[in-house]
Structure 1
Amino acid sequence: MYEPDTAAILPGDVLNSASTDDEVSPSDSFDNNEEVHARTSSSLRPPFSCPLPVSVEPVLFLSMFSLALQAPLSTQYLWGRISEDLGYNGSKRSECSNSSVLPDPLLKEVETLTAHWNMYISLGGFSLGLLVVPLLGSWSDLAGRRPVLIIPNLGMALQAVVYLVVMYLKLPVAYFLLGRLLSGLSGDFNGILAGCFAYVADTSDRQSRTFRVAVLEACLGLSGMLASIIGGQWRRAQGYINPFWLVLATNLASALYAYLFVRESVLPDPSAKLLTTRHHKAIWHLFSTGGSTNEAGGGFHRCKLWMYMLCFFLVVTVHSGCRELFVLYELSSPLCWGPALIGYGSAALHLAYLSSLLGLKIMQCCLEDSWVAIVGLASNIIGLVVFSVADTTQLMFTGYGLCFLFMASTPVIRSKLSKLVGLSEQGALFACVACVETLCYLVGSSLFNSLYPATLHFMKGFPFLFAAIILFIPAGMIGTLQCLDQRRKHRGFTAS
């Protein structure tokens, strides 16, 4: 087990982040930190120190900005290229149109091919990510976090280069898949997610960890909102190529920031190898035994790990699935929103990341983290119920307003998972969480995009109602686990 660099972590945080108990021996903490200080060299420090009170937040912000800017642009480029290849030069028709003209059969073919290529590209990156991200995450527990922050950003930059070459030379769109595979081989955005959340787990104590994780998730929302606004306007003004140069520059800037300013939080082992089955075995050991901290918890400890992971899967699947339906729901009747209203709705959804961060900080003053998560889920459920019956613009924005705490649950679940494993297992854990998150996007997209057309004949907003019902499951599980924990603590207190 390798201890973190004392330059990045305050005294006493080492055992706090590794232990599942709230009490740590002060003497043990000081002894461990003295040992770490003796083994730490100046080579672990970055070339420069950042004057701002941030660590990996800019890395995640820039990487997410790049991803959120790239994703819609690449889909629109695929649409344009496929339309050009098939000779289709029409525009998409809306349900709100009064035109009685029969739809162009080429339109359906363009939509189908675009959807298929999007699926091929996503599956290509996801399949490689399932193999590479667990390797990188577990390897970072030994080799350090900084490489996992730098390598995936360089891979995403390489993907942007391939996309730019395709656009300049008008190569077949199949080369987009090549760029996605190259990014997947480097860990892709999921590798950055795993590295950033593991870094925060290394450098925070048990009391502040949930809020630190929430700050990272707020970075995701804020950067996504800015990228959505900038990307749409820029594409309309100058086309696809110039925005993709910003994608490339942003990924390189993120990698450069990680190299120059991020302090290492794990003492690297020079002998640590990346390409070895040891890393996958470490992940299997983590979930089959409950990790290195599962000494007194037994089966209950391992059960909590699996149950919180299931809660995370359900919540993120609902979030990702519903997010894909919002635009489709708003474009069609009876709402018939235009680009401006759709932009405002997207902004309102992303602003909920910031309101959730503020709400979480306030609620932590009087509530346990588990109850904070349940309040966040309740906000999400109420908002989804309103979405399911929204037939006016006012009602739709009322739903967005009621979801102002909907992102308060995921940082709590990430923090709960982090506190269940040891310090030397944070990278492996968050690598698994990142892979599960990608799986959530695929499952959510497939499930809700299939459910929406299947239920149009009896209730257009049924997928949102279905999503609200699903969220009762993680709410019940989190509340049950919290009650069991309180009961166990009470029994331990009375026994002593």
Structure 2
Amino acid sequence: MDESDTAAILPGEVLNAPSADDQMSDSVDHKDEAGVPSTGFVRPPCTWSLPVSVEPVLFLSMFSLALQAPLSTQYLWDRISEDLGYNGSKRSECTNGSLPPDPLQKEVETLTAHWNLYISLGGFSVGLLVVPLLGSWSDLAGRRPVLILPNLGLALQAVVYLVVMYLKLPVVYFLVGRLLSGLSGDFNAILAGCFAYVADISDRKSRTFRVAVLEACLGLSGMLASIIGGQWRRAQGYINPFWLVLATNLVSALYAYVFVRESVQPDPSAKLFTTRHHKAVWHLYSTGGSSSEGGGRFHRCKLWLYTLCFFLVVTVHFGSRELYVLYELSSPLCWGPALIGYGSAAQHLAYLSSLLGLRIMQHCLEDSWVAVVGLVSNIIGLLVVSVANTTQLMFTGYGLCFLFMASTPVLRSKLSKLVDPSEQGALFASVACVESLCFLAGSGVFNSLYPATLHFMKGFPFLFAAIILLIPAGIIGTLQCLDQRRDHGDSTAS
């Protein structure tokens, strides 16, 4: 898709947002070639809005991702088992603790984990270059291309996976499909585009809640895909669910093309393949962005500190989530599939309770304190889980985490408010890359910590996660106190 196609996607349909403060800052000065790229024109005021905009795009894309991720891992397990001649079932220490370890099963587990790592690293390494490029480009060319192209790339990945399954090709072709998806931006580009779009169409007051709605879409689609995927695979195998993955990505791209109105005035001269887009991301974090207005050491520090908070929070989320099932399967809990399903449902329902809690707390608390309350809820829940030795105690831990997703929308919103409207795409592309890094870091750290600490405390990784979350809670609270002190000083001086 070239620039003229981008500009002609939806002529005359430009949606923008909002508040008077945001509109005053929408007029962007031209930068020179060495600086950060900018649109160079004033975005028109908002003339059209709906309560639903890009939420279906994110819901459908996340649904396809959550549906295919566990299925592809199980397919790798079955294919590698078939190749090695292993036909045993995975044994649990609760039922087969007296049996010696099966070396062939261990080899299957190792190879499956390695191929999962190769596929994840392949997508991450390509996305690390492509996502910032697309995100910054969307500040000039518009958000809709960044919602459409990655969905088509994910659909292409599903096609490759289907070909592998139909023809029983070597599993290395899964990596080929992942790389093709990475070249189009992968799911992280969709994340960046959706959050940047919401930042475009929302004012500063409503932005946190709109971001929280998007995050709730992630949780609900993940829950639905988890319920459907496991049952469907047992009934019909792998191929039919992957046809749904393909269809879902195509429907998401079609919805973005037909129903999503552009929120950025497209610049027909915007080029995709240029170093200016990566320079825009560098400019964002090296100077604090255009909105820091040259004086902004404190502004730049806030950008870095909120990004650090986001990294720590999301790393804990990803890392601890991978351990829950393993923790529940083994002694002393020894849960079966039904209880594990209920536990997963409780985790995903926390997305809704967090959204509701955030909405209620916003009436009486600043956003920063809402985030701190969410982190406290997460910390208390993790502490209970770390010592859980009964089903009742484990579900108590899940219940205490009912606000655990209230912090990340606040952090995304805080970061969005720190940068200029013409830099939202570059910002959320950076955040999406950080999120990928969180997945790799969380998976590596917590999966290594769990076996290393089994001999003295099985729940130690959850205790460690709770301790880590004290850091962002302290940073967010401190920054809020500093902001209140500065505001009080400014009001006194005036």
Q: TM-score surpassing 0.5?
A: yes
Report the TM-score, using the length of structure 2 for normalisation: 0.93
2:477 to 449, 460, 479: 479
Aligned to 2:196: 198
Give the drift of 1:295. Answer: 1.7
Cα separation, 2, equivalents of 1:17 and 1:481: 26
Alignment of 1:438-457 (within 5 A): 438-457=436-455
Aligned to 1:283: 281
Aligned to 1:467: 465
Give unpaired runs (5+ residues) of structure 2.
1-6, 27-40
Aligned to 1:163: 161
1:246 aligned partner, one-letter code: L
Aligned to 1:360: 358
Cα separation, 2, equivalents of 1:337 and 1:178: 37
2:269 to 257, 268, 271: 271
After superposition, the Cα gap between the structure-2 partners of 1:36 and 1:112, relative to the gap in structure 1 and judged at 3 Å, is closer
Aligned to 2:31: none
Aligned to 1:9: 16
Alignment of 1:375-386 (within 5 A): 375-386=373-384
After superposition, the Cα gap between the structure-2 partners of 1:17 and 1:348, relative to the gap in structure 1 and judged at 3 Å, is farther
Cα separation, 1, equivalents of 2:241 and 2:20: 42
Deviations 1:327-375 (A, max 9, x none): 0000000000001100100000000000000000000000000000000
Deviations 1:280-332 (A, max 9, x none): 11111111000001027521000000000000000000000000000000000
* SS in structure 1 of the partner of residue 292 of structure 2: coil
Give the conservation status (yes or no) of the 8 Å contact 2:43–2:264.
no
Report the TM-score, using the length of structure 1 for normalisation: 0.92
After superposition, the Cα gap between the structure-2 partners of 1:424 and 1:329, relative to the gap in structure 1 and judged at 3 Å, is same
- Poorly superposed stretches of 4+, deviation over 3 Å: 4-7, 10-14, 16-19, 34-38
Aligned to 1:123: 121
Give the drift of 1:272. Answer: 0.6
Cα root mean square deviation, aligned: 2.0
Cα separation, 2, equivalents of 1:11 and 1:112: 52
After superposition, the Cα gap between the structure-2 partners of 1:158 and 1:13, relative to the gap in structure 1 and judged at 3 Å, is farther
1:105 to 103, 106, 110: 103
2:15 aligned partner, one-letter code: A
In the alignment, structure 1 residue 299 sits paired with structure 2 residue 306 = no
Aligned to 1:181: 179
After superposition, the Cα gap between the structure-2 partners of 1:11 and 1:364, relative to the gap in structure 1 and judged at 3 Å, is closer
Alignment of 1:362-401 (within 5 A): 362-401=360-399
Give the conservation status (yes or no) of the 8 Å contact 1:18–1:421.
no
Deviations 1:388-432 (A, max 9, x none): 000000000000000000000000000000000001000000000
* SS in structure 2 of the partner of residue 353 of structure 1: helix
Give the conservation status (yes or no) of the 8 Å contact 1:17–1:202.
no
In the alignment, structure 1 residue 147 sits paired with structure 2 residue 154 = no
* SS in structure 2 of the partner of residue 426 of structure 1: helix
Give the drift of 1:16. Answer: 5.4
Cα separation, 1, equivalents of 2:12 and 2:315: 36
After superposition, the Cα gap between the structure-2 partners of 1:375 and 1:17, relative to the gap in structure 1 and judged at 3 Å, is farther
* SS in structure 2 of the partner of residue 243 of structure 1: helix
In the alignment, structure 1 residue 339 sits paired with structure 2 residue 346 = no
2:329 aligned partner, one-letter code: L
Bigger mean CA offset, 328-337 vs 289-298: 289-298
Give the drift of 1:87. Answer: 0.3
Give the conservation status (yes or no) of the 8 Å contact 2:388–2:394.
yes
Give the drift of 1:97. Answer: 1.5
Aligned to 1:60: 58
Cα separation, 1, equivalents of 2:243 and 2:303: 42
Give the drift of 1:15. Answer: 1.9
Cα separation, 2, equivalents of 1:187 and 1:7: 24
* SS in structure 1 of the partner of residue 405 of structure 2: helix
Cα separation, 2, equivalents of 1:18 and 1:215: 25
In the alignment, structure 1 residue 260 sits paired with structure 2 residue 258 = yes
Give the conservation status (yes or no) of the 8 Å contact 1:17–1:204.
no
1:9 aligned partner, one-letter code: N
Give unpaired runs (5+ residues) of structure 1.
20-33
Cα separation, 2, equivalents of 1:61 and 1:343: 21
Give the conservation status (yes or no) of the 8 Å contact 1:384–1:464.
yes
Give the conservation status (yes or no) of the 8 Å contact 1:6–1:36.
no
Give the conservation status (yes or no) of the 8 Å contact 2:18–2:201.
no
1:97 aligned partner, one-letter code: T
The number of equivalent residue pairs is 471
Give the conservation status (yes or no) of the 8 Å contact 2:153–2:181.
yes
1:185 aligned partner, one-letter code: L
Give the conservation status (yes or no) of the 8 Å contact 1:148–1:191.
yes
* SS in structure 1 of the partner of residue 158 of structure 2: helix
Aligned to 1:29: none
After superposition, the Cα gap between the structure-2 partners of 1:319 and 1:108, relative to the gap in structure 1 and judged at 3 Å, is same
Cα separation, 2, equivalents of 1:315 and 1:294: 26
Give the drift of 1:103. Answer: 2.5
Give the conservation status (yes or no) of the 8 Å contact 1:5–1:37.
no
2:410 to 409, 412, 435: 412
Aligned to 2:32: none
After superposition, the Cα gap between the structure-2 partners of 1:477 and 1:168, relative to the gap in structure 1 and judged at 3 Å, is same
After superposition, the Cα gap between the structure-2 partners of 1:161 and 1:18, relative to the gap in structure 1 and judged at 3 Å, is farther
Aligned to 2:207: 209
After superposition, the Cα gap between the structure-2 partners of 1:493 and 1:164, relative to the gap in structure 1 and judged at 3 Å, is same
